[in-house]
Amino acid sequence: MPLTFHNTYARLPDQFFSHQPAADIPAPVMLKLNQALADRLGIGAATLDNANGAAFLSGAAFPEGAEPVAMAYAGHQFGNFVPQLGDGRALLLGEVLAPDGTRFDIHLKGSGRTQFSRGGDGKAVLGPVLREYLIGEAMAALGIPTTRALAAVLTGETVWREEPEPGAVLARVAASHIRVGTFQFFYVRQDFEALRRLLDYAIERHYPQAASADVPALAFLGAVMARQAALVARWMGVGFIHGVMNTDNMAISGETIDYGPCAFMDIYDPGTVYSSIDQMGRYAYANQPRIAHWNLAQLAQSLLPLVPGEPEAAANALQGVVDGFPALYDGEWLAVFGRKIGLAAPAPEDQAMIEDLLALMADAKADFTLAFRHLTRALATDNWQDIEATLAAAPDFADWRHRWLARLGADRALAVKAMVGANPAFIPRNHRVEAALQAARNGDLSVFEHLLAILSRPYAEQPENAAFEAPPGPGEAVQATFCGT
Protein backbone atom coordinates (compact mmCIF):
# COMPACT_ATOMS: atom_id res chain seq x y z
CA MET A 1 0.00 0.00 0.00
CA PRO A 2 1.50 3.36 -0.91
CA LEU A 3 1.48 6.30 1.45
CA THR A 4 -1.14 8.71 0.19
CA PHE A 5 -1.16 12.18 1.66
CA HIS A 6 -3.95 14.71 1.89
CA ASN A 7 -2.51 18.07 2.78
CA THR A 8 -5.49 20.09 3.92
CA TYR A 9 -3.55 22.00 6.56
CA ALA A 10 -0.98 23.01 3.97
CA ARG A 11 -3.84 24.54 1.96
CA LEU A 12 -4.51 27.08 4.73
CA PRO A 13 -2.99 30.56 4.38
CA ASP A 14 0.76 31.08 4.65
CA GLN A 15 0.67 32.45 8.20
CA PHE A 16 -0.32 29.01 9.48
CA PHE A 17 3.02 27.32 8.89
CA SER A 18 6.36 27.37 7.16
CA HIS A 19 7.23 24.89 4.44
CA GLN A 20 10.06 22.67 5.41
CA PRO A 21 12.71 20.98 3.32
CA ALA A 22 13.89 17.43 4.04
CA ALA A 23 16.29 17.15 6.95
CA ASP A 24 19.94 16.32 6.80
CA ILE A 25 19.90 13.06 8.71
CA PRO A 26 23.06 10.98 8.33
CA ALA A 27 21.83 7.42 8.80
CA PRO A 28 18.14 6.87 9.53
CA VAL A 29 17.44 3.39 10.87
CA MET A 30 14.01 2.11 11.90
CA LEU A 31 14.26 1.25 15.57
CA LYS A 32 10.64 0.41 16.26
CA LEU A 33 7.64 0.43 13.97
CA ASN A 34 4.10 0.19 15.32
CA GLN A 35 2.80 -2.44 12.92
CA ALA A 36 -0.70 -2.55 14.35
CA LEU A 37 -1.10 1.20 14.04
CA ALA A 38 0.30 1.22 10.49
CA ASP A 39 -2.30 -1.39 9.59
CA ARG A 40 -5.06 0.64 11.19
CA LEU A 41 -4.03 3.61 9.11
CA GLY A 42 -4.19 1.43 6.02
CA ILE A 43 -0.52 2.03 5.32
CA GLY A 44 0.68 -1.52 5.82
CA ALA A 45 3.83 -2.16 7.80
CA ALA A 46 5.60 -3.46 4.69
CA THR A 47 5.49 0.05 3.23
CA LEU A 48 7.39 1.47 6.18
CA ASP A 49 9.54 -1.27 7.65
CA ASN A 50 12.48 -0.62 5.36
CA ALA A 51 15.07 2.03 4.49
CA ASN A 52 12.48 4.21 2.74
CA GLY A 53 10.22 4.05 5.79
CA ALA A 54 13.09 5.09 8.05
CA ALA A 55 13.88 8.01 5.74
CA PHE A 56 10.23 9.11 5.55
CA LEU A 57 9.52 8.79 9.25
CA SER A 58 12.63 10.71 10.27
CA GLY A 59 12.20 13.52 7.76
CA ALA A 60 15.36 12.60 5.83
CA ALA A 61 13.34 12.23 2.63
CA PHE A 62 9.75 13.04 1.86
CA PRO A 63 7.36 10.55 0.33
CA GLU A 64 5.72 11.56 -2.93
CA GLY A 65 2.71 13.75 -2.36
CA ALA A 66 3.85 14.95 1.06
CA GLU A 67 3.99 18.68 1.63
CA PRO A 68 5.55 18.94 5.09
CA VAL A 69 5.06 22.04 7.18
CA ALA A 70 6.15 23.28 10.58
CA MET A 71 2.99 24.57 12.26
CA ALA A 72 2.76 28.00 13.87
CA TYR A 73 1.33 28.37 17.37
CA ALA A 74 1.68 30.45 20.50
CA GLY A 75 1.04 29.43 24.09
CA HIS A 76 1.06 30.07 27.78
CA GLN A 77 4.02 28.24 29.27
CA PHE A 78 3.62 27.91 33.04
CA GLY A 79 1.24 30.84 32.89
CA ASN A 80 3.49 33.14 30.83
CA PHE A 81 2.35 34.01 27.36
CA VAL A 82 4.79 33.39 24.51
CA PRO A 83 3.42 34.86 21.27
CA GLN A 84 5.42 32.56 19.04
CA LEU A 85 6.31 28.96 19.78
CA GLY A 86 5.51 26.67 16.86
CA ASP A 87 7.00 23.40 15.68
CA GLY A 88 10.59 24.07 16.62
CA ARG A 89 11.65 20.46 16.41
CA ALA A 90 8.69 18.93 14.67
CA LEU A 91 7.05 18.67 11.33
CA LEU A 92 3.61 17.86 10.04
CA LEU A 93 4.49 15.32 7.35
CA GLY A 94 0.92 15.22 6.13
CA GLU A 95 -2.52 13.74 6.69
CA VAL A 96 -3.59 10.23 5.88
CA LEU A 97 -7.09 8.83 5.63
CA ALA A 98 -7.59 5.54 7.47
CA PRO A 99 -9.73 2.92 5.72
CA ASP A 100 -12.69 4.00 7.87
CA GLY A 101 -12.35 7.53 6.52
CA THR A 102 -10.84 9.06 9.67
CA ARG A 103 -8.21 11.69 9.01
CA PHE A 104 -4.94 11.57 10.92
CA ASP A 105 -1.84 13.74 11.04
CA ILE A 106 1.54 12.10 10.78
CA HIS A 107 3.92 14.30 12.67
CA LEU A 108 7.66 13.95 13.16
CA LYS A 109 9.26 15.07 16.41
CA GLY A 110 13.02 15.62 16.32
CA SER A 111 13.42 16.07 12.57
CA GLY A 112 15.62 19.16 12.82
CA ARG A 113 15.50 22.92 12.91
CA THR A 114 12.60 24.91 11.51
CA GLN A 115 11.67 28.54 11.30
CA PHE A 116 10.28 28.16 14.85
CA SER A 117 13.35 26.63 16.51
CA ARG A 118 14.50 29.79 18.28
CA GLY A 119 17.66 28.73 20.14
CA GLY A 120 16.98 24.99 19.93
CA ASP A 121 18.66 22.40 17.75
CA GLY A 122 15.39 20.91 16.50
CA LYS A 123 16.46 17.47 17.58
CA ALA A 124 15.20 14.76 19.88
CA VAL A 125 17.05 11.94 21.57
CA LEU A 126 16.41 8.27 22.15
CA GLY A 127 15.24 8.31 25.77
CA PRO A 128 12.43 10.89 25.45
CA VAL A 129 11.36 9.44 22.09
CA LEU A 130 10.95 5.95 23.55
CA ARG A 131 9.31 7.45 26.62
CA GLU A 132 6.65 9.13 24.53
CA TYR A 133 6.23 5.93 22.52
CA LEU A 134 5.73 3.80 25.61
CA ILE A 135 3.47 6.13 27.58
CA GLY A 136 1.37 7.13 24.57
CA GLU A 137 0.77 3.50 23.65
CA ALA A 138 -0.01 2.67 27.27
CA MET A 139 -2.60 5.47 27.32
CA ALA A 140 -4.15 4.17 24.10
CA ALA A 141 -4.41 0.69 25.59
CA LEU A 142 -6.00 2.18 28.71
CA GLY A 143 -8.66 3.61 26.39
CA ILE A 144 -7.67 7.24 26.96
CA PRO A 145 -7.69 9.58 23.94
CA THR A 146 -4.11 10.19 22.89
CA THR A 147 -1.70 10.74 20.08
CA ARG A 148 -0.09 7.44 19.08
CA ALA A 149 3.44 6.41 18.26
CA LEU A 150 3.88 5.15 14.72
CA ALA A 151 7.64 4.75 14.80
CA ALA A 152 10.90 5.55 16.51
CA VAL A 153 13.77 6.11 14.08
CA LEU A 154 17.44 6.48 14.97
CA THR A 155 19.12 9.30 13.09
CA GLY A 156 22.71 8.06 13.35
CA GLU A 157 23.71 11.32 15.00
CA THR A 158 25.01 11.95 18.45
CA VAL A 159 23.08 14.77 20.09
CA TRP A 160 24.42 16.57 23.10
CA ARG A 161 22.05 16.98 26.07
CA GLU A 162 23.30 16.49 29.64
CA GLU A 163 25.57 13.96 27.99
CA PRO A 164 25.91 12.60 24.47
CA GLU A 165 22.74 10.76 23.41
CA PRO A 166 21.68 8.88 20.29
CA GLY A 167 19.54 11.15 18.09
CA ALA A 168 16.07 9.87 17.31
CA VAL A 169 12.80 10.94 15.74
CA LEU A 170 9.33 10.00 16.92
CA ALA A 171 6.68 9.67 14.23
CA ARG A 172 3.37 10.25 15.89
CA VAL A 173 -0.20 10.10 14.79
CA ALA A 174 -2.92 12.45 16.00
CA ALA A 175 -6.46 13.44 15.11
CA SER A 176 -4.79 16.81 14.46
CA HIS A 177 -2.16 19.05 15.96
CA ILE A 178 -4.34 22.11 16.41
CA ARG A 179 -3.83 23.41 19.92
CA VAL A 180 -5.33 26.07 22.13
CA GLY A 181 -2.09 27.90 21.32
CA THR A 182 -2.87 27.83 17.60
CA PHE A 183 -5.90 30.03 18.27
CA GLN A 184 -3.85 32.26 20.56
CA PHE A 185 -1.26 32.71 17.79
CA PHE A 186 -3.75 34.46 15.51
CA TYR A 187 -5.65 36.22 18.27
CA VAL A 188 -2.56 37.97 19.63
CA ARG A 189 -1.65 39.09 16.09
CA GLN A 190 -5.19 40.38 15.63
CA ASP A 191 -5.29 38.37 12.41
CA PHE A 192 -9.00 37.71 12.69
CA GLU A 193 -9.34 36.51 9.13
CA ALA A 194 -6.86 33.71 9.84
CA LEU A 195 -8.59 33.07 13.16
CA ARG A 196 -11.87 32.61 11.33
CA ARG A 197 -10.23 30.20 8.88
CA LEU A 198 -8.76 28.23 11.78
CA LEU A 199 -12.12 27.97 13.50
CA ASP A 200 -13.83 26.82 10.31
CA TYR A 201 -11.11 24.28 9.71
CA ALA A 202 -11.16 22.95 13.29
CA ILE A 203 -14.95 22.72 13.26
CA GLU A 204 -15.03 20.86 9.96
CA ARG A 205 -12.35 18.46 11.09
CA HIS A 206 -13.38 17.82 14.69
CA TYR A 207 -16.79 19.23 15.56
CA PRO A 208 -18.85 19.40 12.36
CA GLN A 209 -22.09 19.72 14.34
CA ALA A 210 -20.91 23.13 15.61
CA ALA A 211 -21.07 24.52 12.06
CA SER A 212 -24.84 24.68 12.13
CA ALA A 213 -25.11 26.16 15.65
CA ASP A 214 -26.43 29.71 16.16
CA VAL A 215 -22.94 30.84 17.13
CA PRO A 216 -20.41 28.26 15.90
CA ALA A 217 -17.60 29.68 18.03
CA LEU A 218 -19.64 29.11 21.21
CA ALA A 219 -20.68 25.62 20.16
CA PHE A 220 -17.08 24.83 19.29
CA LEU A 221 -15.86 26.04 22.68
CA GLY A 222 -18.48 23.94 24.44
CA ALA A 223 -17.54 20.86 22.44
CA VAL A 224 -13.80 21.28 23.13
CA MET A 225 -14.57 21.76 26.82
CA ALA A 226 -16.64 18.59 26.95
CA ARG A 227 -13.79 16.57 25.49
CA GLN A 228 -11.21 18.14 27.76
CA ALA A 229 -13.38 17.53 30.82
CA ALA A 230 -13.69 13.88 29.83
CA LEU A 231 -9.99 13.62 29.07
CA VAL A 232 -8.71 15.11 32.31
CA ALA A 233 -11.15 13.00 34.33
CA ARG A 234 -9.73 9.92 32.59
CA TRP A 235 -6.20 11.05 33.47
CA MET A 236 -7.21 11.44 37.09
CA GLY A 237 -8.70 7.97 37.06
CA VAL A 238 -5.37 6.35 36.22
CA GLY A 239 -3.17 8.68 38.24
CA PHE A 240 -1.67 10.33 35.18
CA ILE A 241 0.17 13.62 35.59
CA HIS A 242 0.78 15.39 32.29
CA GLY A 243 3.44 17.64 33.72
CA VAL A 244 3.38 20.45 31.09
CA MET A 245 -0.24 21.47 30.62
CA ASN A 246 0.73 24.62 28.75
CA THR A 247 -1.86 25.92 26.31
CA ASP A 248 0.36 24.83 23.42
CA ASN A 249 0.16 21.28 24.77
CA MET A 250 -3.64 21.13 24.84
CA ALA A 251 -5.10 19.68 21.67
CA ILE A 252 -8.43 20.91 20.34
CA SER A 253 -9.31 17.31 19.44
CA GLY A 254 -9.33 16.24 23.10
CA GLU A 255 -6.36 13.91 22.74
CA THR A 256 -3.50 13.77 25.21
CA ILE A 257 -0.56 15.37 23.47
CA ASP A 258 3.12 16.06 24.13
CA TYR A 259 4.43 13.52 26.54
CA GLY A 260 7.38 15.19 28.19
CA PRO A 261 8.02 14.83 31.90
CA CYS A 262 4.64 13.16 32.41
CA ALA A 263 4.34 10.32 34.88
CA PHE A 264 1.92 7.98 36.60
CA MET A 265 1.59 8.46 40.32
CA ASP A 266 2.62 5.59 42.57
CA ILE A 267 1.61 6.54 46.13
CA TYR A 268 -1.67 8.44 46.18
CA ASP A 269 -0.99 12.06 47.04
CA PRO A 270 -3.01 14.78 45.32
CA GLY A 271 -0.04 17.16 45.42
CA THR A 272 2.22 14.85 43.42
CA VAL A 273 4.55 16.52 40.91
CA TYR A 274 7.32 14.74 39.03
CA SER A 275 8.45 17.25 36.45
CA SER A 276 11.79 18.78 37.33
CA ILE A 277 10.76 22.01 35.60
CA ASP A 278 7.53 22.40 37.59
CA GLN A 279 9.06 23.98 40.67
CA MET A 280 5.82 25.58 41.85
CA GLY A 281 3.68 22.48 41.40
CA ARG A 282 1.45 24.30 38.92
CA TYR A 283 0.73 21.04 37.12
CA ALA A 284 0.42 18.79 40.18
CA TYR A 285 -2.01 15.86 39.95
CA ALA A 286 -4.88 17.57 41.73
CA ASN A 287 -4.42 20.88 39.90
CA GLN A 288 -5.03 19.41 36.46
CA PRO A 289 -8.78 20.11 36.25
CA ARG A 290 -8.25 23.72 37.35
CA ILE A 291 -5.51 24.17 34.78
CA ALA A 292 -7.65 22.68 32.03
CA HIS A 293 -10.33 25.20 32.97
CA TRP A 294 -7.79 28.03 32.88
CA ASN A 295 -6.47 26.90 29.48
CA LEU A 296 -10.00 26.77 28.10
CA ALA A 297 -10.56 30.32 29.32
CA GLN A 298 -7.57 31.29 27.17
CA LEU A 299 -9.19 29.55 24.22
CA ALA A 300 -12.42 31.43 24.93
CA GLN A 301 -10.57 34.72 24.92
CA SER A 302 -9.04 33.92 21.56
CA LEU A 303 -12.49 33.23 20.14
CA LEU A 304 -13.82 36.64 21.16
CA PRO A 305 -13.55 38.24 17.68
CA LEU A 306 -15.54 35.34 16.24
CA VAL A 307 -18.60 35.85 18.41
CA PRO A 308 -20.96 38.34 16.80
CA GLY A 309 -22.38 41.29 18.72
CA GLU A 310 -21.01 43.92 21.08
CA PRO A 311 -17.67 42.87 22.61
CA GLU A 312 -19.07 42.91 26.12
CA ALA A 313 -22.00 40.68 25.23
CA ALA A 314 -19.70 38.38 23.28
CA ALA A 315 -17.32 38.15 26.22
CA ASN A 316 -20.20 37.35 28.55
CA ALA A 317 -21.44 34.64 26.23
CA LEU A 318 -17.98 33.04 26.11
CA GLN A 319 -17.59 33.37 29.87
CA GLY A 320 -20.95 31.68 30.30
CA VAL A 321 -19.70 28.67 28.36
CA VAL A 322 -16.35 28.55 30.18
CA ASP A 323 -18.10 28.74 33.55
CA GLY A 324 -19.71 25.41 32.71
CA PHE A 325 -16.41 23.59 32.97
CA PRO A 326 -16.45 22.62 36.66
CA ALA A 327 -19.87 21.02 36.33
CA LEU A 328 -18.84 19.16 33.17
CA TYR A 329 -15.68 17.96 34.84
CA ASP A 330 -17.42 16.93 38.06
CA GLY A 331 -19.82 14.80 36.03
CA GLU A 332 -16.97 13.09 34.19
CA TRP A 333 -15.02 12.61 37.40
CA LEU A 334 -17.99 10.98 39.06
CA ALA A 335 -18.48 8.66 36.08
CA VAL A 336 -14.80 7.65 36.06
CA PHE A 337 -14.40 7.16 39.81
CA GLY A 338 -17.86 5.65 40.13
CA ARG A 339 -16.79 2.86 37.76
CA LYS A 340 -13.62 2.46 39.77
CA ILE A 341 -15.72 1.43 42.75
CA GLY A 342 -18.14 -0.61 40.69
CA LEU A 343 -20.94 1.88 40.10
CA ALA A 344 -21.90 1.94 36.45
CA ALA A 345 -24.37 4.76 37.11
CA PRO A 346 -23.10 6.71 40.12
CA ALA A 347 -25.36 9.31 41.70
CA PRO A 348 -24.14 12.63 43.10
CA GLU A 349 -24.54 11.19 46.62
CA ASP A 350 -21.83 8.64 45.77
CA GLN A 351 -19.22 11.34 45.51
CA ALA A 352 -18.68 11.41 49.25
CA MET A 353 -18.04 7.67 49.37
CA ILE A 354 -15.42 7.95 46.62
CA GLU A 355 -13.76 10.88 48.35
CA ASP A 356 -13.72 9.01 51.63
CA LEU A 357 -11.93 6.10 49.99
CA LEU A 358 -9.38 8.46 48.46
CA ALA A 359 -8.85 10.02 51.88
CA LEU A 360 -8.20 6.57 53.36
CA MET A 361 -5.73 5.89 50.57
CA ALA A 362 -3.96 9.17 51.23
CA ASP A 363 -3.79 8.41 54.98
CA ALA A 364 -2.39 4.98 54.30
CA LYS A 365 0.02 6.27 51.64
CA ALA A 366 -1.40 3.54 49.45
CA ASP A 367 -0.31 2.94 45.90
CA PHE A 368 -3.08 4.46 43.76
CA THR A 369 -3.23 1.80 41.05
CA LEU A 370 -2.71 -1.18 43.30
CA ALA A 371 -5.28 -0.07 45.87
CA PHE A 372 -8.06 0.03 43.27
CA ARG A 373 -6.93 -3.22 41.71
CA HIS A 374 -6.85 -4.93 45.10
CA LEU A 375 -10.31 -3.58 45.84
CA THR A 376 -11.49 -5.08 42.55
CA ARG A 377 -9.99 -8.46 43.35
CA ALA A 378 -11.39 -8.37 46.86
CA LEU A 379 -14.90 -7.86 45.57
CA ALA A 380 -14.44 -10.56 42.93
CA THR A 381 -13.01 -13.20 45.29
CA ASP A 382 -14.26 -12.08 48.69
CA ASN A 383 -10.66 -12.25 49.87
CA TRP A 384 -9.92 -8.93 51.56
CA GLN A 385 -6.37 -9.59 52.67
CA ASP A 386 -4.51 -7.54 50.06
CA ILE A 387 -6.69 -4.46 50.21
CA GLU A 388 -6.70 -4.59 54.01
CA ALA A 389 -2.92 -4.76 53.97
CA THR A 390 -2.74 -1.87 51.51
CA LEU A 391 -5.00 0.27 53.70
CA ALA A 392 -3.75 -1.11 57.01
CA ALA A 393 -2.70 2.34 58.12
CA ALA A 394 -6.30 3.54 57.68
CA PRO A 395 -8.38 1.65 60.25
CA ASP A 396 -11.61 3.24 59.02
CA PHE A 397 -11.54 1.01 55.98
CA ALA A 398 -13.80 -1.54 57.70
CA ASP A 399 -16.52 1.11 58.03
CA TRP A 400 -16.05 2.23 54.47
CA ARG A 401 -16.28 -1.33 53.19
CA HIS A 402 -19.54 -1.79 55.05
CA ARG A 403 -21.06 1.31 53.43
CA TRP A 404 -19.73 0.35 50.05
CA LEU A 405 -21.10 -3.21 50.06
CA ALA A 406 -24.45 -1.89 51.18
CA ARG A 407 -24.46 0.57 48.28
CA LEU A 408 -23.50 -2.14 45.76
CA GLY A 409 -26.33 -4.41 46.88
CA ALA A 410 -26.72 -7.95 45.66
CA ASP A 411 -25.43 -7.70 42.12
CA ARG A 412 -21.72 -7.82 42.73
CA ALA A 413 -20.87 -9.47 39.41
CA LEU A 414 -21.86 -6.33 37.53
CA ALA A 415 -19.82 -4.18 39.88
CA VAL A 416 -16.80 -6.42 39.45
CA LYS A 417 -17.13 -6.16 35.71
CA ALA A 418 -17.16 -2.34 35.86
CA MET A 419 -14.18 -2.35 38.17
CA VAL A 420 -12.06 -4.74 36.12
CA GLY A 421 -12.47 -2.44 33.13
CA ALA A 422 -11.77 0.74 35.10
CA ASN A 423 -8.87 -0.27 37.32
CA PRO A 424 -5.76 -1.23 35.39
CA ALA A 425 -3.28 -3.66 36.84
CA PHE A 426 -0.49 -2.38 34.60
CA ILE A 427 0.51 1.23 34.16
CA PRO A 428 3.85 2.57 32.91
CA ARG A 429 5.45 2.86 36.29
CA ASN A 430 8.31 5.31 36.29
CA HIS A 431 10.93 2.89 37.53
CA ARG A 432 9.98 0.37 34.83
CA VAL A 433 10.00 3.05 32.14
CA GLU A 434 13.40 4.29 33.26
CA ALA A 435 14.80 0.74 33.25
CA ALA A 436 13.50 0.20 29.70
CA LEU A 437 15.04 3.46 28.49
CA GLN A 438 18.34 2.75 30.19
CA ALA A 439 18.57 -0.67 28.53
CA ALA A 440 17.69 0.90 25.16
CA ARG A 441 20.48 3.44 25.59
CA ASN A 442 22.80 0.47 26.05
CA GLY A 443 21.55 -1.04 22.81
CA ASP A 444 19.07 -3.52 24.29
CA LEU A 445 15.50 -2.88 23.17
CA SER A 446 14.11 -6.09 24.68
CA VAL A 447 13.18 -4.50 28.03
CA PHE A 448 11.21 -1.82 26.17
CA GLU A 449 9.49 -4.43 23.99
CA HIS A 450 8.53 -6.54 26.99
CA LEU A 451 7.12 -3.56 28.88
CA LEU A 452 5.23 -2.38 25.80
CA ALA A 453 3.63 -5.81 25.43
CA ILE A 454 2.56 -5.87 29.08
CA LEU A 455 1.12 -2.35 28.85
CA SER A 456 -0.89 -3.24 25.76
CA ARG A 457 -3.21 -5.32 28.02
CA PRO A 458 -3.46 -3.14 31.11
CA TYR A 459 -6.73 -4.52 32.46
CA ALA A 460 -5.96 -8.21 31.91
CA GLU A 461 -4.68 -10.51 34.62
CA GLN A 462 -1.12 -11.35 33.60
CA PRO A 463 0.12 -13.60 36.42
CA GLU A 464 3.42 -14.19 34.61
CA ASN A 465 4.03 -10.42 34.79
CA ALA A 466 2.79 -9.85 38.32
CA ALA A 467 6.09 -8.19 39.23
CA PHE A 468 5.19 -5.34 36.86
CA GLU A 469 2.15 -4.48 38.99
CA ALA A 470 4.35 -3.69 41.92
CA PRO A 471 5.23 -0.17 42.98
CA PRO A 472 8.91 0.72 43.13
CA GLY A 473 10.85 -0.91 45.94
CA PRO A 474 13.04 1.05 48.34
CA GLY A 475 15.56 3.02 46.33
CA GLU A 476 13.76 2.32 43.03
CA ALA A 477 11.32 5.22 43.14
CA VAL A 478 11.83 7.89 40.48
CA GLN A 479 11.69 11.30 42.17
CA ALA A 480 11.79 13.57 39.13
CA THR A 481 11.20 13.36 35.41
CA PHE A 482 12.82 15.47 32.72
CA CYS A 483 11.72 16.86 29.38
CA GLY A 484 14.97 15.91 27.73
CA THR A 485 14.56 18.56 25.05
Size of the residue set binding Mg ion (CB under 5 A):
2
Least distance (Å) between residue 248 CB and ligand AMP: 6
Among 88, 127, 222, 424, binds ligand AMP (CB under 6 A): 88
Q: Is residue 249 near Mg ion by the rule CB under 5 A? A: yes
Kindly tell me which of 87 and 266 has the beta carbon lying closer to ligand AMP.
87
Among 63, 260, 424, 484, binds ligand AMP (CB under 6 A): 260
Question: Rounded to whole angstroms, what are the CA distances from 57 to 23, 76, 444?
Answer: 11, 29, 22
Which of 148, 170, 168, 154 is closest to 36 using CA atoms? Answer: 148
Q: Is residue 188 near ligand AMP by the rule CB under 6 A? A: no
Rounded CA-CA distance 146/104 in Å is: 12
Q: Which of residues 426-465 bind ligand AMP (CB under 6 A)?
A: none
Least distance (Å) between residue 73 CB and Mg ion: 9
Whether 248 is catalytic: yes
Kindly tell me which of 72 and 202 has the beta carbon lying closer to ligand AMP.
72
> What 3-state DSSP class applies to 19?
strand
What kind and span of H or E run contains 156?
Answer: strand 148-160
Rounded CA-CA distance 429/434 in Å is: 9
Note whether 122 and 134 are within 8 A (CB). Answer: no
DSSP 73-130: --EEETTEEES----SSEEEEEEEE-TTS-EEEEEEESB---TT-TTS--BEEHHHHH
Least distance (Å) between residue 168 CB and ligand AMP: 12
What kind and span of H or E run contains 362?
Answer: helix 350-364
Q: Is residue 157 near Mg ion by the rule CB under 5 A? A: no
Q: Segment contacting ligand AMP (CB under 6 A): 214-222, 244-252, 437-445, 473-481?
A: 244-252
Among 137, 258, 266, 278, binds ligand AMP (CB under 6 A): 258
Kindly tell me which of 176 and 390 has the beta carbon lying closer to Mg ion.
176
Q: Is residue 123 near ligand AMP by the rule CB under 6 A? A: yes
Least distance (Å) between residue 248 CB and Mg ion: 5
Q: Is residue 420 near ligand AMP by the rule CB under 6 A? A: no
For 90, half-sphere exposure in the C-beta direction (CA atoms, 13 angstrom radius) is: 21
For 62, half-sphere exposure in the C-beta direction (CA atoms, 13 angstrom radius) is: 19
Q: Which one from 87, 105, 248, 266 is the annotated catalytic residue? A: 248
Kindly tell me which of 261 and 346 has the beta carbon lying closer to Mg ion.
261
Choose the one of ligand AMP, Mg ion, none that binds residue 485, judging by a C-beta under 5 to 8 angstroms depending on kind: ligand AMP
| DSSP designation for 265 | -
Q: Is residue 255 near Mg ion by the rule CB under 5 A? A: no
Among 28, 63, 68, 86, binds ligand AMP (CB under 6 A): 86
Which of 91, 69, 72, 90 is closest to 82 using CA atoms? Answer: 72
Contacts 24+ apart (CB under 8 A), 64-67: 65/3, 65/4, 65/5, 65/7, 65/94, 66/3, 66/5, 66/7, 66/93, 66/94, 67/5, 67/7, 67/10, 67/19, 67/94
Which of 76, 107, 114 is closest to 92 using CA atoms? Answer: 107
φ/ψ of 381, rounded to 5, equals -110, -10
Note whether 460 and 376 are within 8 A (CB). Answer: no
Choose the one of Mg ion, ligand AMP, none that binds residue 388, judging by a C-beta under 5 to 8 angstroms depending on kind: none
Among 132, 165, 258, 469, binds Mg ion (CB under 5 A): 258
Q: Is residue 122 near ligand AMP by the rule CB under 6 A? A: yes
Among 74, 85, 91, 436, binds ligand AMP (CB under 6 A): 85
Q: Which residue is nearest to Mg ion (CB)?
A: 258
Which residues carry out catalysis? Answer: 248
Residues that bind Mg ion (CB under 5 A): 249, 258
Residues forming the site for ligand AMP (CB under 6 A): 85-90, 116-117, 120-123, 244, 248-249, 258, 260, 485
